[in-house]
Amino acid sequence: NQQILLARRPEGMPTKETFAFRDIPKDHPEDGQAVIKTLYLSVDPYMRGRMSAGKSYVEPFALNEPISGGVVGEVVESRSEKLKVGDKVQGLLNWQLYNTVDAASVRKIENTDVPLSAYLSVLGMTGLTAYFGLLDIGQPKAGETVVVSGAAGAVGSIVGQIAKIKGARVVGIAGSDEKIRHLQELGFDKGINYRTADNLQKAVEEACPNGVDVYFDNVGGSISDAVLNCLNDFARVPLCGAISSYNIPEHEDLGPRIQPNLLKTRSMIKAFIIGDYSKDFDKGIKDLAEWLSQGKLKYKETMIEGFENVPKAFLGLFEGKNLGKQLVKISDP
């Protein structure tokens, strides 16, 4: 067995030295436990926060201990009635080739008609984040304008499509022309490449002639400053993430503040954490699966193969290497 540890806490951008690989002995399940072989493993921007020691909504990863995150795996040994060999499960597991867990701590995947990796993307944490953040906080109405940043990523690409399903006009902001073309394929009304726009605020104004009613914020920083300058009165801003600041060392200035814009427009900005919605996950998964089967929802995954490439996949998130959900394929079922 093998695992990936947090070898040192990054100052600013993480590097491959942030991680270390360690061989560990195979362990044997006790009563009520099962051994899960990792098939797919999720890398996520929020993990960057857990690599620092500062206080947040989840505990920091411990130094020299395995990193953990979303995994889809297969039961290869079981001493529980809840799981049998061959069952597919999802859970928050260590970055390991094999995890020995209490059977109750993972969720069995009942519908295997959907590709298993989807349980780490559109039917997983990022799909649910899009669903609840947009519908509960953003509350888009038909005819309104929804802007989403990080639009070609795992959360953003689903946000835009759900907003379309709700009848909104949707503008996505992302970091390459390829990503903008992808947004068009997903049915977004307009895409803005923030790396090539001369004046981002102007580009948002042109793309949103009726102003912005919902801004789903995945990135923060200067991209959000530009959009927040375009809010209509009583706009809603689901504050989902702020990836642009994740690698800025704590003592450095984060740039202009957003509060004056919110005050001016009496807009509501409400942060949320996907875990707050856990009691409604089943409904979210049901709706997402239905839209998928009706062809109303599409999703893209960028797959890197091999356990040795997990750090690379993670670091690539901060360079925009992924289209859709970044995943790592560890092994075949």
Per CB under 6 A, residues contacting ligand NDP are 44-46, 126, 129, 150, 152-156, 174-176, 179, 218-219, 223, 240-244, 272-274, 317-318, 320, 322, 325-326
What beta strand segments (E) does the chain contain? Answer: 2-6, 19-23, 33-42, 68-78, 88-94, 98-102, 107-108, 145-149, 169-174, 190-193, 212-216, 231-239, 268-271, 301-305, 325-329
Instruction: Find out whether 90 and 107 touch, Cβ atoms under 8 Å.
Output: yes
- Six-digit token pair at 145? 């304008």
Q: How far is the CB of 34 from ligand NDP (least distance, A)?
A: 27
Q: How far is the CB of 121 from ligand NDP (least distance, A)?
A: 9
Strands 212-216 and 231-239: parallel
Which CB, 29 or 45, lies closer to ligand NDP? 45
Q: How far is CA 70 from the centre of its chain?
A: 11
Torsion sign (Cα): 315, 321, 323, 327: negative
Q: How far is the CB of 201 from ligand NDP (least distance, A)?
A: 15
- Six-digit token pair at 59? 């505990």
Count Cβ atoms within 10 A of the Cβ of residue 255 and give its class: 0-12 exposed, 13-18 middle, 19 or more buried. middle
Instruction: Find out whether 21 and 315 touch, Cβ atoms under 8 Å.
Output: no
Q: How far is the CB of 325 from ligand NDP (least distance, A)?
A: 6
Residue nearest to ligand NDP (CB): 153
Which CB, 40 or 98, lies closer to ligand NDP? 40
Q: Residue written as tokens 């239905």? A: 290
Q: How far is the CB of 290 from ligand NDP (least distance, A)?
A: 22
What number of other Cβ atoms are within 10 A of residue 143's Cβ? 10
**Eight-class DSSP state of 86:** T
Which CB, 74 or 301, lies closer to ligand NDP? 301
Q: Residue 257's closest CA among 278, 228, 291, 232?
A: 228
Which CB, 77 or 136, lies closer to ligand NDP? 136
Which CB, 291 or 314, lies closer to ligand NDP? 314
Which CB, 70 or 140, lies closer to ligand NDP? 70
Q: How far is the CB of 122 from ligand NDP (least distance, A)?
A: 11
Q: How far is the CB of 208 from ligand NDP (least distance, A)?
A: 18
Which CB, 126 or 265, lies closer to ligand NDP? 126
